[in-house]
Structure 1
């Protein structure tokens, strides 16, 4: 029989405090309060049917396909059914607020920034020696060796080596700036001349540049990015004060705004 170890709410709060997690916790709580206040001011409402749909989506996202799965999940996270409904409601209100604020701005933002959403299919080997990188670069150009052979010889990570240095589909922000500039200026398929960064000497084969399309997935990504940036600006307008009572000592934790703008 397992031994029982009792942990109180006071223990939890103390653990959060001594592990320096209070600032991130305050920011998360403040963010939720901002969302609820802004939604109230905007007149955003939700009906029971919408909350039920949001709850179903939450169950699906957490793979809670059976009733017992849901009960086990609630027990694991110490949530009641009311708590679960509240989580679903907050998610729904956040989504509605994001659409209210930026739903009609997504398309314009996409066309103004579509280069940032282009994708590149690349293969990469990072070397320590610039001279070796140049030697391999010219050997590739002359057809004396192929990129997969270089990957098998010079990549140490087994999975990456087996994939021939394949990096998947990356967007501009996924690359270092100096590499992004070179990659998205290519006319694929094309081998880039070695690029030196702090990580080493990059030998990169650009297989394809994928033009961005504003599908539902990308629309959701842009909407989320705009909403996140807006929330960050909102947070900077506030001085967040938390009143903590640990070990019977009244203490105040404060997050100061990063700008002097008043709330």
Structure 2
């Protein structure tokens, strides 16, 4: 015997309350209304060709290659074809509104906050013993040991040990302030002096400092960040009346 559960809109709303998801949903609704109202006020229109291209791009992004793939995805998310078009339209309106309002602010913002976009490539070992950290620091300077050797001997996590303590490419904001100050003033390749934090004693090898360039990827990121800040400001300035 198959059990059938009928889930009503009231059930969905109630579950959102119990899951504490309602504030996020209300903010999302308000954000959508802010975008559509602002786009209408400045006269932004979506052409049919633009909408079709954006829909094709979204399907490609979600790997919906075949018509059946799209149909299954729509059913999974309880969306009609018209609602999918509305989803694409909101995304396109958002992008065009961001460009209309803030595109000219991207370059000045970049040059004002250029230091925030400098990146570093670092390797790190965190020790419990400060005296040991200083011994290893001096041993590296005297070429008695290499940083990869230290990583192999003193990193406990197997995955991190396999990559020699590699931390990836990170911006200043990815570091705690007391570490960032030393990393981004280093002249790589260089080991920086041991740094004591609440996590332990950090021994960090700075391999490279990457100066930022305002390419298309960074331009888009800054525009998204500016638009997100603009939306947040709009949300804080409006009064929401929620009728439930």
CA distance in 1, matches of 2:155, 2:2: 47
Q: Which moved more, 1:2-11 or 1:13-22?
A: 2-11
For residues 88-117 of structure 1, what are the alpha-carbon distances to aligned partners after superposition, in whole Å with 9 as ceiling and x for unaligned? Answer: 100000000000011111111111111111
Task: Quote the residue 1:199 is aligned against.
Answer: 199
**Structure 1 position 146 matched with structure 2 position 149:** no
**Structure 1 position 216 matched with structure 2 position 216:** yes
Aligned-residue offset at 1:179 = 1.2
SS in structure 1 opposite 2:238?
A: coil
SS in structure 2 opposite 1:164?
A: coil
SS in structure 2 opposite 1:110?
A: helix
SS in structure 1 opposite 2:237?
A: coil
CA distance in 2, matches of 1:209, 1:164: 18
The total of aligned residue pairs comes to: 244
Task: Quote the residue 2:14 is aligned against.
Answer: 14
For residues 173-217 of structure 1, what are the alpha-carbon distances to aligned partners after superposition, in whole Å with 9 as ceiling and x for unaligned? Answer: 111111111111011101111112222211110000011111110
- Normalised to the residue count of structure 2, the TM-score between the two structures is 0.96
CA distance in 2, matches of 1:194, 1:239: 51
Task: Quote the residue 1:91 is aligned against.
Answer: 91
Task: Quote the residue 1:136 is aligned against.
Answer: 136
Aligned-residue offset at 1:51 = 0.6
For residues 10-67 of structure 1, what are the alpha-carbon distances to aligned partners after superposition, in whole Å with 9 as ceiling and x for unaligned? Answer: 2211111011111111111111111111111111111111111111111111111111
For 1:33-44, what aligned pairs fall within 5 Å after superposition?
A: 33-44=33-44
- Normalised to the residue count of structure 1, the TM-score between the two structures is 0.89
For residues 198-252 of structure 1, what are the alpha-carbon distances to aligned partners after superposition, in whole Å with 9 as ceiling and x for unaligned? Answer: 22211110000011111110000000011011111111112222111xxxxxxxx
Task: Quote the residue 2:46 is aligned against.
Answer: 46
For 1:171-210, what aligned pairs fall within 5 Å after superposition?
A: 171-210=171-210
Gaps spanning 5+ residues in structure 1: where?
245-263
| 45 and 161 in structure 1: CA distance in 2 versus 1, 3 angstrom threshold | same
CA distance in 1, matches of 2:135, 2:11: 61
Task: Quote the residue 1:61 is aligned against.
Answer: 61
For 1:97-136, what aligned pairs fall within 5 Å after superposition?
A: 97-136=97-136
Aligned-residue offset at 1:2 = 6.4
Runs of 4+ in 1 over 6 A off after TM superposition: none
CA distance in 1, matches of 2:200, 2:239: 43
SS in structure 2 opposite 1:242?
A: coil
CA distance in 2, matches of 1:209, 1:77: 44
Q: Which has the higher helix share?
A: 2
CA distance in 2, matches of 1:95, 1:59: 17
